[in-house]
Amino acid sequence: MTVTLADILAARRIIRGVADATPFVPSPFMAKAAGHDFLLKLENMQPVGAFKLRGALNAVAHLPEGVTGVTCCSTGNHGRGVAFAAKARGLRAVICMSELVPEAKVAGIRALGAEVRIVGRSQDAALAESRRLCVAEGLVEISPFDDPHVIAGQGTIGLEMLEARPDLAAILVPLSGGGLAAGVAVAAKAVNPGIRVIGVTMERGAAMHAALRAGHPVEVTEEPSLADSLGGGIGMENRLSFPLCQALLDEVVLVSEEEIRDAMQVLYHEDRIVAEGASVTGIAAMLSGRVTLPDGPVATIVTGRNLDMSVFTKVVAGEDVRIGDLVVRGKRYGA
């Protein structure tokens, strides 16, 4: 089982007019910092506030006849995508999440009419509940990243980027379970085999990074982070997103909480864009110099905007932010 360009082209027909054609804009400020064109694919403009709608719509479209309900574990954005896609098809949706998921994400899911189960303090606990519901209530699970239809759906982002800018030399992709990075890499490398696809994730609990180092999935401890959407493991029985990331990612880079904070500030103060921590890791890697970029135009995917506004306003105003037992110190922009 794998994901091909043909799967991504098919996904594109399914999501057309609902979850596609997000803006792809140059950032003059970031181009100056990068020394080359630097483009932002604005998936934060999706109707559910994150790219996950692409994969969820494609996965729900491929459900077998007779399915009456779906379930998933989620750090919030996949759940919201699944809730949206299920509602459009008149299906029941039960979204399982941990206590680490921000309130704004939970509210967004409830507003779409889905049922919410908050269980434990990790994605593993949420996944266990989702699996239990499959057996107990006859629901079908949709993995946030380890599912061929989800990966093909996320891959449509790569197609749109390469069609607009076939000259891209590299793409910086926020990385968690790797569904996004795998799909984007399949699409981008099918069009231009020489393009570099670089995954970027936070230092705190970087599961895919640890797995790639070990050569197999490993357990990581989940920790509070500004990049809450990147939390959780990749699944010890990962079948698809791990091997694809292993084969197709040129590099994986880690960024600190302070670098994520700085990137959120830059994106807001310079480009007036509201984005959650997970979605600015590519920008953080570029601005902090943690990644060596090739000689040519670079793009990153601003993956989502779903964060508690109290956190956002503190970050951009330069105040301290507390998330669980984590305190990210405030710093005034430009100071």
Ligand X SMILES: *Cc1c(COP(=O)(O)O)cnc(C)c1O
Which residues in 101-140 contact ligand X (CB under 6 A)?
Answer: none
Whole-angstrom Cα Rg for the chain? 18
Q: How far apart are CA 60 and CA 139, in angstroms?
A: 12
Q: Which residues pair with 131 in a beta bridge?
A: none
Cβ proximity to ligand X: between 32 and 182 the closer is 182
In the complex, what is the shortest distance from the CB of residue 157 to ligand X, in angstroms, rounded to a whole number? 11
Of 36 and 290, the one with the shorter C-beta distance to ligand X is 290
Return the half-sphere exposure (C-beta side, CA atoms, 13 A cut-off) of residue 281: 30
Minimal distance, residue 31 CB to ligand X, in Å: 23
Binding mask 296-335 vs ligand X (x if CB under 6 A, - otherwise)?
A: -------xx-------------------------------
Using CB under 6 A, which of 60, 180, 273, 323 touches ligand X?
Answer: 180
Identify residues 10-69 at the interface with ligand X (CB under 6 A): 50, 52
The dihedral built from the CA positions of residue 192, 193, 194 and 197, taken in this order, carries a sign that is: positive
**Dihedral angle of Cα 190, 194, 195, 196, to the nearest 10 degrees:** 120
Residue 84 contacts ligand X per CB under 6 A: no
Query: Can residue 176 be called a binding residue for ligand X (CB under 6 A)?
Result: yes
In the block, residue with structure tokens 């599912």? 147
Unique residue bearing structure tokens 């982070």:
225
Q: Does 222 contact ligand X by CB under 6 A?
A: no
Decide if residue 156 touches ligand X (CB under 6 A).
no
What tokens were used for 69? Answer: 């309900």
Q: How many residues bind ligand X (CB under 6 A)?
A: 20
Structure tokens at 73: 């574990």
Q: What is the distance between the alpha carbons of residues 54 and 15, in angstroms, rounded to a whole number?
A: 6
Which of 229, 238, 265, 300 is the binder for ligand X (CB under 6 A)? 229
Query: What's the chain's length in residues?
Result: 335
Footprint of ligand X (CB under 6 A): 50, 52, 77, 144-145, 174-181, 229-230, 276, 278-279, 303-304
